[in-house]
Every structure is written in C-alpha cells, then in structure tokens.
Amino acid sequence: MSGDMYDVIVIGGGPVGENLADRAVQGGLTAVIVEAELVGGECSYWACMPTKALLRDAAALRAARSLPGAAAAITGRLDTAAVLERRDQFAAHWHDDGQVSWLESAGIALVRGHGRLVGERTVAVTRPDGSATVLEARHAVVIATGTSAAVPPIPGLAEARPWTSRDAVGAERIPERLAIIGGGVVGAELATAYSAFGTAVTLIARDGLLPRVEPFASAQVATALTTDGVRLLIGAEPTEVSREDDGTVRIVLAVGETVRVDELLVATGRRPNTGDIGLESVGLMPGSWLTVDESLRVVDESGTPIAGGGLYATGDVNGRALLTHQGKYQARAAGDVIAARARGGEVDDAPWGRHAATADHLAVPQVVFTHPEIASVGHTLASATTAGLRVRSVEYDLGAVAGASLHADGYIGRVSMLIDEDAGTIAGFTAVGPDTAELVHAATVAIAGQVPIERLWHAVPAYPTMSELWLRLLETAGSDTRTRTTDQLVTSDR
C-alpha cells in the first residue's frame, strides 16, 4: 500500500461529490474524489439526464399536436430509435472522459476504485486491478455515495431478474409489455416514457400514484396515463413473481389476478449505498442512512459530530432530500464550510446561513416529468398540516390564464398556493399541466426568500405568460380588496 495526503477526500464522484470537491478547491484546499463506477454518477448516466431525454420527444410531439397548425404538419409517429440514440448522447454513451477532463481542469484529483473508511480521516481504496492505496485527509472525508434501487422482499422477485431504473433508462430494446411496481416519481415517469413508445404498460401502485404530491396533481396525471393506455392498478399488491421458461414475467396480485409481461420494473424506493464503505470503523451501522447537522457533518443520535468532526455526508445518502439539485446545494454548503473550518474562519450555520442547508426543510423544488408535468416546492397541504403550520390553500384553474390558453388549445392544468397565515408568506406551491417545469423557480424564490404576500402584489407578471397565475392566485386569496372578482378577470385583456 502507498499513502497520499489531501485536505479533503470525497467518496463518490457523482454531481454532488464533484460540486463539493470543486468548492473545496475554490476555497484553497486540495481534494481527491474516489469513484468506483463512472465519474458523473447516477444522474448523468442512469437518471436525470437520460430519463428526461427519453421523455422530451414525446412531450414535444404532444405539444405540437395541441396546436392546429402544427398538428396538420405531423405525418409520422414517434421515432423510438432516434429517441434512444439521443438518450445515448446525453448519457455520453456511458463513458466518463468528459467528466474526468473537467475534474482535471478544476484541479481535483481522481482515484478510481472502491473506497472504504478505515478510521478517522483515512480511506483505503481498492483499485480495479486489485491493488490498494490508503488516502489520508487533513480536514475532512465526505461520503457522497448516493443510493441505489431498493428491491422489496416479494417472493420470487429477486430471482425473476427485474429491471431497476438503471435497466429501464438504459434499455436497448423496448418491450411490448411492461409492468411497473411502484407509483412514485420513477414509476410514473417511466410509465409515461414507455407508453409513448407503444409499450402496453401496467402500473401497480399499492400506495397510490404519486402519493406525496397534491391530490389534484396526481389525479390529473392518472387521467392522462389512463388516456395514453396505461393500466393503473391502484392499491394492488404483488404477492409472488416468477420468470417463466419463455422469458416472460408472471406477477400474482393479492386479489388473485395474474399479470403477464415481457419485463418488470421495480420502482419502490431507494436505499443508501453505505453497506460496504467502512462505517463500522467510525462507530456507525453499515447500510444505514447518515444523519447530519445543518452543515452536513455526520452526527450521532445526540447530535454530536463523530469522527472528530471530520466526517460529512452530502446528497441522497443523508436522506434529507433525494434530488440531485438538493445534493448539489448541500455540496456547495459543505465544501464552503470545510474550507472555512480549515482556515479557522467564521462558520455561518444558522438558518439560511451560507454554511447551512436550510432549504432542505422548507424550500425543496421538484419537477415530475410526467404527462402532464408537476412542479412543486415547499409544503403540500398534508405535510404542512403534519408540521403544525396554520395554512390556507388557494387554487386556480391554470387553463384560464391567458398564457396557458395560448400555449395549447384545451390546456388543462391547476395551481395551488399555501399561505402561512401566521408568517404571511408562502409555504408551498404546486402546478400541474403541460410545460409547468419552468414555473417552479419563481415559487422557490418566494418561499426561500420568505417574501411577504403583500410584497408579491408588486411582482408584476408579464402578459400574456403563464406566470400570470401568480396574480390570479393573489386575487383568489382575497388579500387585495381593490381588485375585481376572479370571474370578472379571467377573460380581461390587460
């Protein structure tokens, strides 16, 4: 074994690890990334980017068909082979040369191999050729190993060789029949993608379709999926799975029905990739989620930093918000605070401070790229109620906004705003409808900035855009008695 010393060691070279190492280097530290697979991680090759590439062509085709002039120009069907080729391009054909070049340009070292903690600020790496090296950190080791698909203990499921999201996103052929177990974001998005390819999709959603979003939003997606030919089995529970001799998959449901398909996708959640990274060497349970404080240091049950305060966990692995953009946000905070602590500088880890990941609790934006899209940030009515907030829900027909009616004939959508009655600010926002993704950041700014409702009256939306929904929501909320009623304003041209 040989040894190398760096200021910061990052185990995991996905976008979270890359961002953290970059911030540490910008803060004057040295950093090395240890990566066992592809630099760029899950998001680059098996999730965010290739998934959206699978969905985009069908979304564009639907958008064109919603306008009479554009629809008249469409003479063919979706070219699935072309979609898969574009997917491959966005996944860089599963080569990470470009990502490695970026690391070099940013001054970040790379060690390929499997990294394991072997003590405080010490990581042993087993390289692909079997050789080993030991890395030591002057200031911090960061766990950024992400998550992988969880396969539930349904009898016969593991032996049936089901697809996980990686298999479905990277598939080279499109099955005629596909069953999906799980009605969350992954299941809903891939049901949308594969049904557009012409696959007969059966979605088995024991806990409902998109159960964590506002019910009016999930209901609109359910209607669209059903219209697109997806068979929704809400509340159904698989009890047995088998791969038959002819290669097909047989799924037995608790009600006694049997579903037969060519492939089965399991989309029932994620588990942390912490099973074999040496957590036991610092007193933690292998395979567990890592609890962190607001500056992303790993802490014990009492909230005390472990491993001398030199162990951090960023991204999905800490279970705070399993979204790439939130992981990158955490990485920026953690990279900056590691550099500050290394210099003996001031640490600002109070709520909304530079070194605190406060938005993980109050302002998490997400877009579900189904047909239609769901854009949300902050609380839902259910989560706000659970949190003990006194909120008022205000909803509006998005299709009645001038910009939406221009966007597509027969536009169907809805928006909701949760008003925190005590703070006088917005606590949550949800929009469902075609192409609502780009609406989410305005809501994110309002929530993260804790903008008072009365100040929002002065944020004038451009006409005619879908952003006029903000004015309509405020009018519906009734916080300005100077305006006319909502019904009077729907068709006005101002």
For the record, the structure tokens of 35 come out as 């990566």
pLDDT at 488: 36
Q: What are phi and psi of 301, to 5 degrees?
A: -60, -25
The amino acid that residue 422 corresponds to is D
pLDDT at 70: 95
DSSP per position, 27-42: TT--EEEEESS-TTHH
Helix 97-105 × helix 15-26 angle, to 10°: 10
Span 221-250, pLDDT tens digits? 999 999 999 999 999 999 999 999 999 999
pLDDT at 321: 96
For the record, the structure tokens of 152 come out as 């539930």
Q: How far is CA 124 from CA 10, 67, 375, 393, in A?
A: 12, 59, 42, 52
pTM of the model as a whole: 0.93
Residue 115 has pLDDT above 60, yes or no: yes
Q: What are phi and psi of 357, to 5 degrees?
A: -95, 60
For the chain, how far is it from start to end, CA to CA, in angstroms?
Answer: 73
Span 450-471, pLDDT tens digits? 999 999 999 999 999 999 999 9
pLDDT at 11: 98
pLDDT at 478: 87
Residue 482 has pLDDT above 70, yes or no: no
What average pLDDT does the chain have?
95
Span 41-95, pLDDT tens digits? 999 999 999 999 999 999 999 999 999 999 999 999 999 999 999 999 999 999 9
Mean pLDDT on 121-136: 97
Catalogue the E-assigned strands of 340-389. 365-368, 373-378
The residue that leads in pLDDT, 452 or 1, is 452
pLDDT at 494: 38
pLDDT at 106: 98
Confidence class of residue 361 from pLDDT cuts 50, 70 and 90?
very high
Confidence class of residue 487 from pLDDT cuts 50, 70 and 90?
very low
Mean pLDDT on 393-406: 97
Which residues, 6+ apart, have CB-to-CB distance to 390 below 8 Å? 420, 421, 422
Mean pLDDT on 262-268: 98
Parallel/antiparallel/unpaired status of strands 373-378 and 365-368: antiparallel
pLDDT at 343: 95
